[in-house]
């Protein structure tokens, strides 16, 4: 049980022993809690972009050479520039929400900031998952249009593919891509569900408490 719930319970059951909490006291605690949550959302988004950047440096050189040979190097460069730009914009919005909530001095203002933060996180998650799905589909469609060239490059780069007959390569490769893609998207959704889902739930609870105060 968090500090606010504990104090509320004490307020209700032991009014004679503890000082009564005013609406202003409850508002201050809700403001402090909400500010902390918004700060964590901002910090986690920074950690996420750092994680993806480190992961990009860990991609094997053989994969980079394969994509360059098949003609995807420029496309990936453009996609990365756009993706980092959008990601940076969301981080800016998270930071803006954090700065706004720190100077909020009214129940209505705090409620509005909570709604803005929840909305921003929602769009952030939709963007990241949506881009991942579209990128997975787009890259594999491109691979399919160049499946003969892809087979030659794969057999030259990865010895395991040399044992696969040309007529079976398409099925094996794209089924592997599909399974790997589904696992990746599922892990991404799980991460967002666990991390941002928990934080947004707490913000929603704070919002509900603020509505009671405003009423």
Q: Where is 133: in which H helix or E strand?
A: helix 107-145
Which tokens sit at 192?
């967002």
Classify burial at 77, counting beta carbons within 10 Å of its beta carbon; exposed 0-12, middle 13-18, buried 19 or more. Answer: exposed
Burial of 97 (0-12, 13-18, 19+ CB in 10 A): buried
The Cα–Cα gap between 57 and 122 comes to 28
Here the tokens at position 16 are: 């004679």
Confidence at residue 191, expressed as pLDDT on a 0 to 100 scale: 92
Distance of CA 114 to the CA centre of its chain: 18
CA distance 104 to 176: 51
pLDDT at 18: 44
Tokens (6 digits) for 36: 């902390």
Rounded CA-CA distance 111/126 in Å is: 23
Give the pair of three-digit tokens for residue 136: 């997975």
Domain ranges, ordered by start, for the chain: 36-214
| DSSP secondary structure letter of residue 17 | T
For the chain, what percentages of helix, strand and coil (3-state, to nearest 5) are there? 90, 0, 10
**Is pTM, for the whole model, over 0.75?**
yes
Q: How many CB atoms lie within 10 A of CB 192?
A: 18
Question: Taking the CB of residue 25, how many other CB atoms lie within 10 A of it?
Answer: 14
With beta carbons less than 8 A apart as the criterion, state whether 41 and 117 touch: yes
Which string of b and e fits 201-210 if b means at least 16 CB within 10 Å?
ebbebbbebb
Reading the chain (215 residues) residue by residue, the pLDDT tens digits are: 566 666 556 555 544 444 555 667 778 888 899 999 999 999 999 999 999 999 888 888 888 888 888 888 899 999 999 999 999 999 999 999 999 988 887 888 888 999 999 999 999 999 999 999 999 999 999 998 888 888 888 887 777 777 788 778 888 888 988 999 999 999 999 999 999 999 999 999 988 888 877 66
Largest CA distance in the chain: 83
d(CA 205, CA 39) in angstroms, rounded, equals 17
Half-sphere exposure of 73 (CA within 13 A, CB side): 10
């Amino acid at each position: 049980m968090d500090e606010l719930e504990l104090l509320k319970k004490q307020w209700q059951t032991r009014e004679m022993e503890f000082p009564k909490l005013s609406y202003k006291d409850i508002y201050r605690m809700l403001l402090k809690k909400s500010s902390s949550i918004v700060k964590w959302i901002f910090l986690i988004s920074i950690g996420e972009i750092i994680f993806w950047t480190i992961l990009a440096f860990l991609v094997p050189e053989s994969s980079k050479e394969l994509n360059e040979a098949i003609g995807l190097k420029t496309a990936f460069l453009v996609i990365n520039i756009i993706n980092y730009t959008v990601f940076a914009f969301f981080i800016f919005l998270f930071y803006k929400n954090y700065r706004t909530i720190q100077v909020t001095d009214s129940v209505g203002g705090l409620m509005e900031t909570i709604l803005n933060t929840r909305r921003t996180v929602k769009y952030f998650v939709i963007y990241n998952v949506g881009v991942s799905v579209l990128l997975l589909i787009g890259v594999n469609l491109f691979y399919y249009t160049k499946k003969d060239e892809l087979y030659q490059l794969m057999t030259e780069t990865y010895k395991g593919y040399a044992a696969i007959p040309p007529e079976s390569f398409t099925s094996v490769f794209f089924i592997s891509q599909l399974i790997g893609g589904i696992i990746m998207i599922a892990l991404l959704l799980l991460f967002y569900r666990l991390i941002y889902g928990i934080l947004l739930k707490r913000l929603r609870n704070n919002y509900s408490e603020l509505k009671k105060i405003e009423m």
